[in-house]
Amino acid sequence: MKVALVGATGMVGSEMIRVLEESTLPITSFVPVASAKSIGKQVEFKGKSYACIGLADALQVKPDIALFSAGGHVSLEWAPKFASNGTYVIDNSSAWRMDENTPLVVPEINASDLTPNDRIIANPNCSTIQLAMALKPLHDKYGIDRLIISTYQSVSGTGYKAVNQLNGERTGNVDDKAYPHPIDKNCIPHCDDFLESGYTKEEMKMVNETKKILGDQSLRITATAVRVPVDGGHSESVNAQLKKPFVLDELIQTISEMDGVVIQNDVKNNQYPMPLMAKGKNDVFVGRIRKDDSAENTVNLWIVADNLRKGAATNAVQIAEYITANNLIQKETTV
C-alpha cells in the first residue's frame, strides 16, 4: 500500500507520522509531500529517512491513500486531482466538510456509510470530533434538542507559530506572533476569523459539522470558542438539553459504552478530564457529568481530547484503516 502524507512537515503532519507508525495499515511505500519551500526536507518514518516531494510528483506516484493536512486552498485544488487518479483522499482541512457530496467522518459514528465511490473524505474539525464522540450515544438514546458549548482550545490547534508565541512569551523572546494579543496568562475568545454574525468560523464549524455528523439538521447549537495557554489538548464545557428524561447513572453508562470514550467522573478523588493527561492519547475523555437543575432534561459535560490526535491525526488514520479493513480499495469503482 502506498500512503502519501500532504503537509508532512506541519504540526498535524508530524503527528500523523507518529500515528501512522502505530497503526495497523500495511504501508509498503511512504510518500511525504510538502510545499515548494520544504521539498527535499527529510522526515523520519519507522526508522527511515524520506525526502519530501511536491504535489505534482506525488500525483504521479498514484498513492492508494493520501492524507491531506496542508490547508483548504491546497485541498480544493489537489484533492480532486488525486481522487480522479484513483486515490482515496482523507482531508483534514475545512475545504470539503460541508460539501453535500463529501462524507464527513468520525469512524466510530459513521464510517459504515462510506462506499468505494467516496474518494474524497473529510476529517471533521478537532473540536467537533470530540464533541460528536460524546454526544452520539446520547442523541441515539434520548435525542438532543439544544447544545450550549464553550471551548478551551490549545495553541497547538493554530500550529507551530502559536506554540512558539506561547513559549516565547514565557521566556521573554517573541519573534513572530500568531495571535493579536499575548496568549500566556491570558484567554483569547477568538478562534479563526470572525464572521458578519459575530461568531467565528471555528464556532460555526462546531454548529454545522455536528449537525452533519449526527445526521440531524434540527439540532439547536450555539458555541463560544476560546484560545487558552495550553500547548496540547482541547477542552469543552457542554450543556446538553435532551428530548427525553434520563437517570444520571444510566446516562453515564450510555456514554461509557461508546468506543473511544473514557469516563473520568470521580470528583471525590479529583478524577476528571484534563488536557495535560489527555495529551498523547487517542481517546476522548468525559467527566463532570451532572444534571442541570435550571432546565428540563439537561446535563452538563466536560469533554477533553488531544486535538492533534483524535482531533486530527488519529481520526484520519482510523478512516484509512477502515477503508483498508473493509477492502474498499480493492473494489471496483467508477470515479
Positions marked catalytic: 126, 234
Spell out where 10-138 has E strands.
29-33, 42-45, 48-51, 65-68, 88-91, 120-122
Strands 42-45 and 48-51: antiparallel
Place of cell 470558542: 225
Total Cβ atoms within 10 A of residue 69: 25
Q: Which amino acid is at 237?
A: S
Total Cβ atoms within 10 A of residue 76: 13
Residue 327 main-chain phi, psi, to 5 deg: 60, 30
Adjacency order of strands within the sheet including 220-227: 220-227, 144-153, 234-242, 298-305, 284-291, 261-263
172 Cβ partners below 8 Å, 6+ apart? Answer: none
- Residues in the chain, how many? 335
Q: Which amino acid is at 221?
A: I
Strands 284-291 and 261-263: parallel
Give start and end residues of each alpha helix (H) in 67-185. Answer: 72-84, 107-110, 126-141, 160-171
Q: What is the DSSP letter of 266?
A: B
